[in-house]
Chain A
Amino acid sequence: MKVKILRRRSPADESYWEVFDADVPGEMSVAGLIDHLNYRDDIVDESGIKTTRIGWECSCLQGVCGSCAMVINGVPALACETFVRDLGGSVTIEPLRKFPVIHDLLVDRSVIHENLKKTDIYIGKYSPKKPKSAAAGEKEQIRQYEAAKCLKCGLCLEVCPSYVSGRSFFGALFANDCYLAAARNSESADKIKKHYSEHFASACSKSLSCMDVCPMHIETIASMSALNR
């Protein structure tokens, strides 16, 4: 298959496309595919010309760490959860476009953490509001568990029509952390809701594309409705 990758040596260099040939099994993930390209004896492009190894980030290789977020055939996704069998005969791979590129597919996503730090979103002390009923409590518990699974991979920001670079609008992952912190510490809920209004609710266009790409299937809309209450 043809593998087209958008590459960049360093932040100071220009981006360029490079095409590779690969013959790999359908069960292989895109993460496995990149590894395969990198560790053949020599790395050569489709015309057989020697090139440099592809820079990318990985850790768990099974969809629970969020390292390998990238844009695959135009869709933001985790490389370790996207399979060759679903790609058709060719694949185009780009780094996430809303973060500064460091090298090839490696991007700097530190703005995610910085925005949460800047607005001081944390639980601090577990003191939830008493739920109205046992059933409501159980539902809340499940939602909080789901929200805490956020990988901070940035896919929700990549796909979001309102998110630009994180200067004022912080995106779905911010809303979900706000929800988790406010739900588990009712004492700081008001303060957190203020940040949520300013950096999320005021600018969210409610396309909800964030929910389509979230590898953890977090229901951002549920976080939103809890915080809007």
Chain B
Amino acid sequence: MKNAVVIGSGISGMTCAVKLAEKGVSVVLVSPFPSERSQSVMAAGGINAVLPDNGEGDSVALHIEETLSGGGMLAGRKAVTGLCEGAAVVIEYLESIGTVFSTDESGRPLRRAFGGQSKRRTCYCGSSTGKQIVSALIMEARRYEAAGLIKRRLWSCFHSALIKDGVCYGALLFDETAGGLTAEYADALVIAAGGQNALFGKTTGSTQCDGYTAGKLFLQGAELKNLEFIQYHPTTLETPQKKMLISEAARGEGGRLFYIEDGRRVYFMEDRYGPRGNLMTRDVVSREIFSCGRQVYLDVSFLDRKLIGRRLPEVRELCLKYAGIDIASQPVPVSPSVHFFMGGLAVRLDHETNIRNLFAVGECASIYHGANRLGGNSLLAAVYGGMVAADAIAGRESGTVRPDFSAYIEDEKRALSKLYGTKSSFPAEYIRGMAAETLSGDLGIVRDEKTLAKGIKDIDYYLSIAGKISYDSSVMMYSIYSLTGILSLARAVLVCALGRRESRGSHYRSDHPETLPEMGYPTIISYDGGRYAARLDREGYYES
């Protein structure tokens, strides 16, 4: 193919764009803000790879098994095998473009043990792995921008895809500065728009990742997968701005969780799971904190001050800065928060969706993580997925005839023009806020049929009024036209969670606590004229 449009300029979008440019494919890289603002920069932990010098008896086969079992055996074996086998190439590539990894004396990336893994296979860059990868990729992308192969379109937001008869021909973009819709035609459209955390209000992630792109594409016929699987991070600090993530390292170094009853501390994780109880997996700890039903604290103050200064400097700085709490002398109030989305656009092994020439990579694509994600696998999937999609696109022939989209574009322009110039002061943000409250309440860590059904009813109400209200148009137009897509995605997530009448990975149903072997398949949901149809992918359509 000769050209592609990439929506989103975080790690997966940039990787895909750079790899396409390397192969001579022209790319338009679209994002309202520059790559430095992407959520990718917040990924701290690291990136998994079994390298030849890993030692400890580690192997790619073990990485595959741990990824599959960590994901509740829901991810496809072929996809995960590709990911883990490709990991060494990913690290080699990131090193070659100058990513500043933390290295040993001979210059090899250091590795640590991370979330849910038995071996030390997580390469890292200090405490800002995502940021360091972003910085290296920005330079590489800039190189191809200077060469004319990548063109960045800033201040542009995704509006919709140009799809006809199951084939995608590009995207319609909204320019926030010029204020208009423009079509960007291409042989392939790659979605790299990130997760859906803003669906839940202010979580640990970026306010920019709201799931609109997936929601809109769903309404346009793209299938979504495994939406019910949402990873909660057990220890976040609530501030007036957002929920700040307190790294697992705090518990790794010996931090203890407790609540207070009758003036006494109850170390509930240790009481229930023994001395290493505080280090149970994210979903278990999150559920236990939730079931306490009262404020839980994380305490590291009994640790040696020097050790805190040396091993937990970021945690200390964060708590001091945002809550005025010095972890060296006081416990920190913590609560679980939405953190990562295993679900998203359903893609096959080459990252193509069910719509031809429409691809998805990074957190917005659902392929490698199944029902739960290992720490260090998200950065790996972001880079690896970008590479795979670029290979697939570069290796294909361009289509010949492009259908006429002018009527569709005119209709959309007319619809948008109605949103301008209103006298209303009602912000679209309110509807988003109500939806976020619904999702946070009814699609929480512990779910049941009654609350999920109520959630769907509430979202249906918001959907029924969202299009009829006049909104304050002094804000970014995107926040208004994105409402229906976001609400539709919210509804789809609830429908998937209602349909999975079992507990698996991060999805826990108090009315169906058991894991059912007959439900060991991914959920696929499609939209057809107002009908949200969820099914299990028993045939493994997306494993091909």
Show the binding face of A for B, using Cβ within 8 Å. Answer: 24-25, 27-29, 31-32, 35, 38-39, 42-43, 50, 52-53, 55, 57-62, 64-67, 80-81, 102, 109-110, 113, 116-118, 120-126, 134, 141, 144-145, 148-153, 177, 180-181, 184-185
Contact = CB atoms under 8 A, between A and B. Distances in A.
29 contacts: A29-B240, A38-B427, A39-B430, A39-B433, A52-B472, A57-B33, A65-B36, A65-B42, A65-B206, A67-B37, A110-B154, A113-B142, A113-B152, A120-B143, A121-B142, A122-B140, A123-B97, A124-B140, A134-B105, A145-B132, A148-B131, A148-B132, A148-B136, A149-B128, A149-B131, A149-B135, A150-B135, A152-B34, A153-B36
A125 B96 contact: yes
A100 B429 CA distance: 27
Nearest to B44: A64
Contacts of B202: 61
Given A38-B427, A64-B42, A120 B474 contact: no
A151 to B, nearest CB: 6
A106 to B, nearest CB: 9
A39 B177 contact: no
Contact of B474 (A28, A52, A66, A177): A52
A12 B104 CA distance: 55
Contacts, number: 145
Interface string B459-492: 0000000000000101110000000000000000
Q: How large is the interface on B (under 10, 10 to 19, 20 to 34, 35 or more residues)?
A: 35 or more
A141 B105 contact: no
A50 B139 contact: no
A141 to B, nearest CB: 7
Contacts of A152: 34, 36
Contacts of A144: 100
Given A29-B240, A39-B433, A65-B38, 12 more contacts: A32-B240, A52-B474, A53-B474, A55-B476, A60-B37, A117-B146, A123-B98, A144-B100, A145-B100, A148-B100, A149-B132, A151-B36
A32 B241 contact: yes
Contact of A145 (B33, B126, B208, B241): B126
B34 A113 contact: yes
B36 A35 contact: no
Contacts of B239: 27, 32
Contacts of A27: 239-240, 322-324
Contacts of B143: 120, 122, 124
Which of A25, A43, A59 is the most central at the interface, judged by chain B CB atoms within 10 Å of its CB?
Answer: A59
B39 interface: yes
Given A113-B34, A148-B136, A55 B475 contact: yes
B95 A126 contact: yes
A120 B146 contact: yes
A66 B142 contact: no
Contacts of A126: 95-98
A81 to B, nearest CB: 7
B512 interface: no
Contacts of B433: 39
B244 A123 contact: no
Contact of B37 (A25, A59, A181, A184): A59
A59 B206 contact: yes
B98 A61 contact: no
Contacts of B544: none
A111 to B, nearest CB: 12
Contacts of A57: 33, 37
Interface in B291-339: 318, 321-324
Contact of A62 (B135, B145, B244, B476): B244
B9 to A, nearest CB: 11
B100 A62 contact: no
Contact of A64 (B41, B103, B242): B41
B515 interface: no
Contacts of A151: 36
Interface in B402-430: 425, 427, 429-430
B241 A35 contact: yes
